Amino acid sequence: MAARKAPEDRRAELLRAAVAVIARRGFAAVTLRDVAAEAGVAHGLLRHYFRSRGDLLAAAFDLAAGEDAAQLPASPPSPAAHLLDRCEPLPDQHYLLWIDAWSEAPRSPELAAILRRHHSSCERAADGAIREGNARGLWSCPDPAGAATAFEAQLDGLAVQLYALHRIDREGYARLARSAAEGLLGLGPGGLAAAADRERVPAT
């Protein structure tokens, strides 16, 4: 018999169990019974906290993705440095989780909605950096929103090449990501790093 806990503590415990099972088996293979067994609770208890398997998987991904993001360095105030940071590959486990979530999203509307929210957050940050760079004269990008969407999409594609297919290494990921960003911003090779260097020079 599971010990009685506060609802928020029990829900968090169930989500932790779901994340653990997802990490071992992947989204597609996870069942509610697997998660209940991992948490040491009755299968029926999950239905009290989550309306469906999709609801549980979406909430588990939201928790894991949010915690991964919180562990990353805070975005620097400089727009060029922000984009340079985004061009660096993330820890393997971060993107393996995302790639697995992408594959499950077409069969899970709940998970797809959470993915869209996280993607939109990344795009808004890139859009803001591009607009700020325009305002500072670091580059001239006529369509910041479109460039932000294209930039994030290219990062996702490179992530598949690096983490899933192993066709490039981490250095290749960073080099290709910087080249993609520079093309979108109308900069030449090395232009993004040069813009970041200019921003680091104190005003006189």
| 3-class DSSP string for the chain | CCCCCCHHHHHHHHHHHHHHHHHHHCHHHCCHHHHHHHHCCCHHHHHHHCCCHHHHHHHHHHHHHHHHHHHCCCCCCCHHHHHHHHCCCCCHHHHHHHHHHHHHHHHCHHHHHHHHHHHHHHHHHHHHHHHHHHHHCCCCCCCHHHHHHHHHHHHHHHHHHHHHCCCCCHHHHHHHHHHHHHHHHCCCCCHHHHHHHHHHCCCC
User: Domains of the chain: which residue ranges?
Assistant: 75-200
CB burial of residue 86 (10 Å; 0-12, 13-18, 19+): buried
pLDDT along the chain (204 residues), means of 10: 72 91 88 93 90 91 79 68 91 80 91 92 93 96 97 94 94 98 97 91 55
pTM score: 0.81
CATH topology of domain 75-200: Tetracycline Repressor; domain 2 (1.10.357)
Give the model's pLDDT for residue 183: 97
Sign of the alpha-carbon torsion through 45, 11, 67, 55: positive
Give the model's pLDDT for residue 92: 77
CB burial of residue 140 (10 Å; 0-12, 13-18, 19+): exposed
